[in-house]
Chain A
Amino acid sequence: MPTYLYCIIPAGCDPPDGSRRGVDDAPVRELSAKGLAAWVSDTPEMIVAPSVARARAHDNVVRDAMSRATPVPARFGQVLATDAAAADLLAQRRDSLLESLALVTGCVEMTVRILFGSQRAGAGPAPRESGRAYLHWVRERQQARQSVADQAEFLRAALARAVEDAGVVREIRWARVAPGAQSVESAHLVPRTLLVRHRDVVRAAVERDHRMKVMLSGPWAPYTFCAASRE
C-alpha cells in the first residue's frame, strides 16, 4: 500500500492519536527512521489529486503535529511506494531534515501581505480622442502602478526591519513579486513565545504608514522555511 507523507518531527514526540484522520479520512500513524519520525497514512494510489478538502486535511494533520513539536511540513502530494521506501528516503535525507528541524524548532510562520491592488493607479478612463493621448495615458498609468508597487516594497522592507530590530523574528523569506501582482508578501519565522510581540511590532509599523493595507495571517506550520528541494 502506498504511503502518504504529512510531516517530519523529531523522534520521541507523542505519536498521532488513534482517532486522527488525514487525507481521504485515512488513519494517520507514525513511521520512525534513524532518529526521525514521519506522520503518514495509507493511500490507495500513487497519485493524490489535489482538492481543497484534501489540502485542509493535510494541513490539519500538520497542525496536530504542531501541538506536539515543531514539524517540518511536507508539501502536499508526496506518496512513497511503501513504508520501507519512505523510511529509506528519510534515512537518506536525515542530515538535511535535521537541519530543517533545527531551523524551525519552536517557531511558527506568519505571512505578511501588503495589498495594493485596490489603490488608484492612474487617473480616469482611457482617452479616445487620439492614439497619442492614449499612449500617454498608458505610460502614466504604468508609472503610477509602478509607484504603488514601489511603495508596497518599501513598506515590506520597513516591516522586516521593524521585526528584526525588535528581535521577534528568526528569519524572513521574501516571496517573488509576479508581474501584475496586487500584493507583496513575506514569510516571518516567529518564535511561538514572541507571537504577540511580533503582532504588536507589525501593528506599530503599519500605524506609521496609512497608505497600504496589511494582512497578517497565521500561525502556520513553517512550510516556507522547509522548502528545500530533494537532493
Chain B
Amino acid sequence: MSDDALELSGDDRLVLGDLLNHVLDKGIVISGDITISVADIDLIRVGLGIYITAIQSELDHAAAQERATPDAHVPVLHHPRGL
C-alpha cells in the first residue's frame, strides 16, 4: 500500500478539530438554556473560526503535558497500520 494512502497519525490540528466538533456540536441536549447554539449554525465552523488562534498554544500545552504524563488523555488519532 502506498504511504500516501492514509493520513499519518499525529495530525494534532485535526484531532483538536474533531474534539471541538464532538464537544461543541454533538451530544445530547436536554436543556433549553444551551448558550452556544446560534440559529443552527454549523458550530464546528464557528468554533474553529473562534479558536484557530488558540490552537497552537493548546497543542503546545498538550505536548508538554504528554511529555510529563505519557498517559495523558488527548484523543488518539489512529493510523490503521500503526496499531
**A214 near B31: Cβ-Cβ < 8 Å:** no
Interface residues of B (CB under 8 A from A): 1-2, 4-7, 11, 14-16, 18-20, 22-37, 42, 45, 47, 50-51, 54-55, 58, 73, 75-81, 83
**B33 near A52: Cβ-Cβ < 8 Å:** no
State whether the Cβ of A137 lies closer than 8 Å to any Cβ in chain B.
no
9 contacts between A and B (CB under 8 A): A50-B24, A50-B50, A60-B73, A75-B23, A75-B26, A93-B30, A229-B29, A230-B30, A230-B32
CB distance from A72 to the nearest CB of B (A): 5
Query: Which residues of B sit under 8 angstroms from A217, Cβ to Cβ?
Result: 14-15, 18, 75-78
Known contacts A74-B30, A80-B33, A226-B27: A206-B54 contact under CB 8 Å: no
**A77 near B22: Cβ-Cβ < 8 Å:** no
Q: Which of B28, B31, B42, B76 contacts A226 (CB 8 A)?
A: B28
The count of residues in chain A whose C-beta lies closer than 8 Å to any C-beta of chain B is 62
**A90 near B23: Cβ-Cβ < 8 Å:** no
**B27 near A63: Cβ-Cβ < 8 Å:** no
State whether the Cβ of A210 lies closer than 8 Å to any Cβ in chain B.
yes
**B22 near A59: Cβ-Cβ < 8 Å:** yes
Interface residues of A (CB under 8 A from B): 5, 8, 46-53, 55-56, 58-60, 63, 72-80, 89-90, 93, 97, 100, 109-111, 113, 115, 178, 196, 199-200, 202-203, 206-207, 209-210, 212-221, 223-224, 226-230
**B26 near A224: Cβ-Cβ < 8 Å:** yes
**B26 near A227: Cβ-Cβ < 8 Å:** yes
Query: Which residues of A sit under 8 angstroms from B81, Cβ to Cβ?
Result: 203
Query: Which residues of A sit under 8 angstroms from B50, Cβ to Cβ?
Result: 50
Q: Which of B22, B24, B80 contacts A203 (CB 8 A)?
A: B80
CB distance from A59 to the nearest CB of B (A): 5
| Sample of 6 more A-B contacts, CB < 8 Å, known A203-B80, A227-B28, A229-B29 | A5-B30, A75-B28, A78-B33, A79-B31, A214-B7, A218-B78
Kindly state the separation between the CA atoms of A72 and B30 in the bound complex, as whole angstroms.
Answer: 11
Query: Which residues of B sit under 8 angstroms from A93, Cβ to Cβ?
Result: 30
CB distance from B56 to the nearest CB of A (A): 10
Query: Which residues of A sit under 8 angstroms from B83, Cβ to Cβ?
Result: 196, 199
CB distance from B69 to the nearest CB of A (A): 12
**A199 near B80: Cβ-Cβ < 8 Å:** yes
Query: Which residues of A sit under 8 angstroms from B16, Cβ to Cβ?
Result: 52
